[in-house]
Amino acid sequence: MIQPSIRISIFLLLLCIFLVLCPVNAISLSPGSSFSGAPTIANGDPVYIHGIATGHPQKGLQVWLFGNNYVKISTVSTNADNSYEYDLKSADTRSLAPGQYFVLVQHPMMNGEFDIYYNAGTGSVINRQLGTGFSIFQLTGGGSLQSPAGANALMQAINSQNVDDTFASTSFIIGPPNAFINPVGVHVVGEKFIISGSTNLAAGDNLMVEITSSSFKPTYKSQSAEFSGAAGTVRIEQGSDGFKWWSFPVDASTFKPDEYIVKVSGTTVDVTGSTLFNIVEALPITPATTAPVTTERTLPSIATTTPTPAPTTQKSPLSFGVIIGAIALVSCALVPKIK
């Protein structure tokens, strides 16, 4: 006989690996992934949850959906190829409040009974193996656990030693639908360029893109009614890390110089976004700037000579007789001549 732990491991492995091909225009989730990195889903986008469940349980699988002040418990059957699918339609997600939602897919395993089940009359979660009516925790009503506390309590209950049920889980985030347009910039008549943006709508959804002149208005019959702009439908593409993007090619050969409005809107989900950009006749020519030329002149080197002080000549001391003689000569030279 296969040990319960081995059976659980085999089931979880099968449940995590296989995916069932599902229609486009919806978020596709495979239970078995962790709660981290939950994708964001716009209100009004459908959600498909699918995988493989072996054993063909007669009572099917039990799907628990938790949200803030929201609990939905459903039962889905397995197909002949062991696949199953649980879906939230556009009307379902449109009414969901923004926030994170947790999904647990419960398998009854060997005894074919859901040992952990919900009592709608009391709002509590029951462990059948501990006796009918034994409440593990309150899921709805007064004193109930909110998401994610309710999801964690349910996982712990199913993981109990006296319960052979097993489960796989996934999660997603509901947010208001949005459609953003990247800055378009300034372009010239005749140029070909791309207008792009991002959205939280499902990959495969369509967006309508409309480009119109901001000066476009009704005219009289006698006036020229020239229209300058473009329109078309684009498909939302899946990017990395849950990011979705769209792009729209523009040929401005028929555009007139003017200010233009870009508007994107959902074809099935109520969402809009808009921005402005300009088409000009030609981009202004920026005059080339010439850097000032700096002329460096090398002046001739001037040798600096530090004058050497003349040597001091020591005079010999004169004798007293020489001094008297010199005075006498000077005195004679100054005597006037008498005729």
Instruction: Give yes or no: residues 201 and 157 share one domain.
Output: no
Residue found under tokens 């459903």: 74
pLDDT in tens, 266-280: 998 889 999 999 999
Instruction: Give yes or no: residues 45 and 140 share one domain.
Output: yes
**Residue 91 counted as domain residue:** yes
Instruction: Give yes or no: residues 137 and 204 share one domain.
Output: no
Share of the chain above pLDDT 90, in %: 38
What whole-number distance in Å separates Cα of residue 154 and Cα of residue 167? 10
Contacts of 11 (CB under 8 A, 6+ apart): 53, 54, 55, 107, 109, 166
Last residue in a domain, options 175, 201, 216: 175
pLDDT bin (cut points 50, 70, 90) of residue 72 is: very high
Question: Picking from 141-155, 161-175, 243-257, which range would have the lowest pLDDT averaged per residue?
Answer: 141-155
**How many separate domains does the chain show?**
2
Looking at residue 207, what is its pLDDT? 95
pLDDT bin (cut points 50, 70, 90) of residue 38 is: confident
Q: Mean pLDDT of all residues in the chain?
A: 77
Question: Picking from 61-75, 90-104, 172-186, 294-308, which range would have the lowest pLDDT averaged per residue?
Answer: 294-308
Looking at residue 237, what is its pLDDT? 92
Domain of 17 in residue numbering reads as 4-175
* 302 burial type by CB count under 10 A (0-12 exposed, 13-18 middle, 19+ buried): exposed
Q: Give yes or no for a contact between 199 and 206, defined as CB atoms under 8 angstroms apart.
A: no
Whether residue 177 is preceded by a cis peptide bond, meaning omega within 30 degrees of 0, is: no
Last residue in a domain, options 150, 175, 200: 175
pTM over 0.85: no
